[in-house]
């Protein structure tokens, strides 16, 4: 194994540089070393590189990237569930398992959480070191470009659990980025109908229709809540805000007794909350934060081919072009952008 590797290193002030770094070495018995097959670009990566960073405090010198798939090339002495040669996807938010929230089963709210690609070196490189408990084994048959969806899909599955979707329910998805389109496919697979998507980008509205949306609306041309009511009569059963700033549209679009799931994370948004409408309409307003014990389900969905995620892949590029990929995602000109190591 080489002692040096290329990595995309955060330098601070919106700068990401590809440079040589040392290959990590296992130092604890519960660690595994993963040779990265691919790592896709997430909206979180875009936010980290904003000036100032939008909600993420990342120290200069950190290797970014957290949507990772790879192969185990080394394992600590106490590792029992994985061995050299196994393939795995990475749950990027490592949890302690013993804090007050972990003991309540809320591992996504761990008081000692360490996030790969944010607080710990991530996957925009050749090798990444992680703990055994956040490496989820996958089949050798699962294609790399599909396996890389495990992290965003696990987050979506967490939200779907909260909604308890049943066949025939109507749904309104706000946004048509990669996560939103996974939501659309999951809603379709769950039997939701009609599915309505609000998105200003014409290209992304086309992707939403390919993913199963029955109707799309440009919020710059029409009031999305009024459009939803024109389709459904009384509003939808379910609203999912994947943008992170459209709770008002959600409250207006949902029927009485319906559910509004807030998924998008935007620390700069200050939306107007129509509190009396929540009371009057008896709306269930829910939040969903990352994945929570949902990686095994995500892997199962991927391995059984339930979703058609390949159509979301718009770019595959080498690590040397990572800044180009991040710019494409930031401008809305790409969806799933996969980076391969060099």
Provide the annotated active-site residues.
44, 47
Looking at the chain, which runs of residues are DSSP E strands? 4-12, 15-22, 31-40, 67-75, 87-90, 93-94, 114-115, 127-131, 135-138, 171-174, 195-198, 215-217, 236-241, 254-262, 284-287, 313-318, 336-340
Q: Which of 324, 295, 334, 171 is nearest to 242 (CA)?
A: 171
Integer distance in angstroms from the first to the last C-alpha of the chain?
A: 14
Q: Are 41 and 319 in contact (CB under 8 A)?
A: no
Question: According to the 3-state scheme, what is the secondary structure of 170-217?
Answer: CEEEECCCHHHHHHHHHHHHCCCCCEEEECCCHHHHHHHHHCCCCEEE
Going 58 to 62 to 68 to 72, the CA torsion angle's sign is: negative
Q: Give the angle subtended at the CA of 84 by the CAs of 78 and 86, to the nearest 5°.
A: 105
Q: Which long-range contacts (CB under 8 A, 24 or more apart) does 315-322 make?
A: 316/145, 316/340, 318/342, 319/6, 319/7, 319/8, 319/18, 319/124, 319/125, 320/6, 320/18, 322/8, 322/16, 322/18, 322/41, 322/124
Distance CA(51)–CA(282), nearest Å, equals 40
Mutual angle of helices 295-303 and 150-163, in 10-degree steps: 110
Phi-psi region of 274 (alpha: psi -120 to 50; beta: other; left: phi over 0): beta
Pull the structure tokens for residue 62.
């950190």
């Amino acid at each position: 194994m080489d002692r040096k590797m290329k990595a995309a290193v955060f330098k601070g002030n919106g700068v990401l540089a590809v440079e040589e770094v040392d290959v990590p070495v296992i130092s604890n018995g519960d660690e595994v070393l993963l040779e990265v097959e691919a790592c896709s670009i997430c909206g979180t990566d875009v936010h980290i590189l904003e000036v100032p960073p939008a909600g993420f405090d990342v120290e200069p010198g950190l290797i970014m990237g957290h949507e990772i798939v790879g192969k185990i090339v080394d394992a600590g002495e106490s590792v029992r569930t994985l061995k050299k040669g196994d393939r795995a996807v990475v749950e990027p938010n490592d949890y302690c398992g013993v804090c007050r929230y972990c003991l309540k089963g809320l591992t996504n709210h761990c008081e000692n959480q360490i996030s790969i690609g944010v607080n710990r070196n991530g996957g925009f490189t050749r090798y990444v070191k992680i703990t055994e408990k956040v490496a989820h084994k996958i089949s050798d048959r699962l294609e790399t470009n599909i396996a890389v969806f495990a992290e965003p899909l696990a987050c979506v599955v967490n939200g779907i659990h909260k909604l308890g979707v049943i066949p025939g329910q109507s749904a309104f998805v706000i946004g048509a980025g990669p996560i939103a389109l996974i939501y659309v496919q999951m809603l379709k697979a769950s039997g939701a109908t009609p599915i309505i998507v609000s998105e200003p980008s014409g290209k992304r509205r086309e992707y939403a229709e390919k993913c199963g949306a029955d109707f799309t609306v440009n919020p710059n041309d029409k009031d999305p809540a009024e459009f939803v009511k024109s389709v459904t009569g009384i509003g939808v059963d379910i609203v999912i805000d994947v943008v992170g700033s459209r709770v008002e549209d959600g409250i207006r679009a949902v029927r009485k007794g319906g559910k509004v799931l807030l998924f998008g994370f935007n620390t700069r948004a200050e939306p107007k909350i129509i509190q009396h409408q929540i009371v009057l309409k008896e709306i269930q307003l829910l939040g969903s934060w990352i994945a929570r014990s949902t990686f095994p389900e995500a892997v199962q969905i991927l391995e059984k081919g339930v979703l058609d995620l390949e159509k979301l892949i718009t770019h595959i590029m080498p690590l040397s072009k990572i800044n180009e990929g991040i710019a494409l995602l930031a401008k809305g000109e790409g969806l799933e952008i996969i980076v391969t190591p060099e």
